[in-house]
Amino acid sequence: MLARHNLPENFRDWNTAWGVPFGFRVPGRRAVEYRLEEEDPLRYGPFGFQQTSPTREFEYPWAFFTAGVESGMKVLDVGGGLSGFQFVLEKEGCEVVNVDPSAKEDRRWSTVDGRNRWLTEDNHAELNKLFGTDVRLVMDTVQAGLADGQLEKGTFDRIFCLSVIEHVSLEEGRAMLESITELLKPGGKLLLTVDLFLDVLPFGVRESNFWGSNIDVHELLKGHGLELEQGDPRELLGFPEFDYDHVVKTIPELFIGTFNPCLSQAMVLRKPE
């Protein structure tokens, strides 16, 4: 399905409680890269330490509530960076692993080279200490983490991959999905969101933009054996049922990212028992 801008009340309450998506709006609020150096960085909350997209206002609560998160679950956050989502999941009683190869070279948000802007082992450890959590960081791709044993096959109840796939090629995205499928327990679920850029084909005239490309979701998912448990094929690019006219007519209802014009395609995929 595509995210709607009219969020359910429980989504709005959850966002307010955790400061989604940009951290709490506190007096004297400083830029992201300087917050860990403050006397009281805790005042920003868990979502105050990574620059992010406004679409997370939908994606984070959608992923949390749709996943049916329960204490004791083992969960994997693919491309979690310094996002607060991983720490919230830990506080809910989950055993959490964040797998992210680091994006120090990524200057799409800013040319500022602040040490606290980019994911490192040190600043991730600082946030764990700050929030009293113990999220494990694997600074590698999900494929490499599986191959070298840092991530154990068939052990995860839930895997979250939120607005990551559109930044890589279709080939790499398929390799990621193959590894994710192996990491899930039978009956486990993948909560997946993929940006749909409005300035890129089939809506715009470009093949890609500074942020990525419009991935053929049907081709991405094909052959991995995951069942589409939630998601409207009419609103998922590449599916035979994808309805361009329906999407365009629905745009007034949809959540549109403001930093870059995009929609958020959301789906739940289940690994068969």
Read off the CATH number of the domain in which 187 is found: 3.40.50.150
Residue 6 tokens read as: 């009219």
User: Is 63 part of any domain?
Assistant: yes
Total domains, the chain: 1
User: Is 132 part of any domain?
Assistant: yes
pTM: 0.94
User: Is 3 part of any domain?
Assistant: no
User: Is 202 part of any domain?
Assistant: yes
User: Is 190 part of any domain?
Assistant: yes
The predicted structure's pLDDT at residue 187: 97
- Which uninterrupted H or E stretch holds 18? helix 9-18
| Integer angstrom CA distances of residue 134 from 61, 88, 158 | 21, 11, 18
Place of tokens 């054996």: 225
227-230 β-sheet, strand order: 136-138, 95-99, 74-78, 156-162, 184-197, 262-270, 227-230
Q: Are 167 and 208 in contact (CB under 8 A)?
A: no
* Domain assignment of residue 66, given as a range: 9-270
Dump pLDDT digits (tens) for 106-160. 555 555 555 666 788 999 999 999 999 999 999 999 999 999 999 999 999 999 9
Nearest alpha carbon to residue 236 among 199, 268, 208, 260? 268
User: Is 2 part of any domain?
Assistant: no
Planar angle of CA 181, 82, 87, nearest 5 degrees: 75
DSSP code string of 46-75? TTSSS---TTHHHHHHHHHHHHT--TT-EE
User: Is 258 part of any domain?
Assistant: yes
User: Is 4 part of any domain?
Assistant: no
Dump pLDDT digits (tens) for 51-89. 888 999 999 999 999 999 999 999 999 999 999 999 999
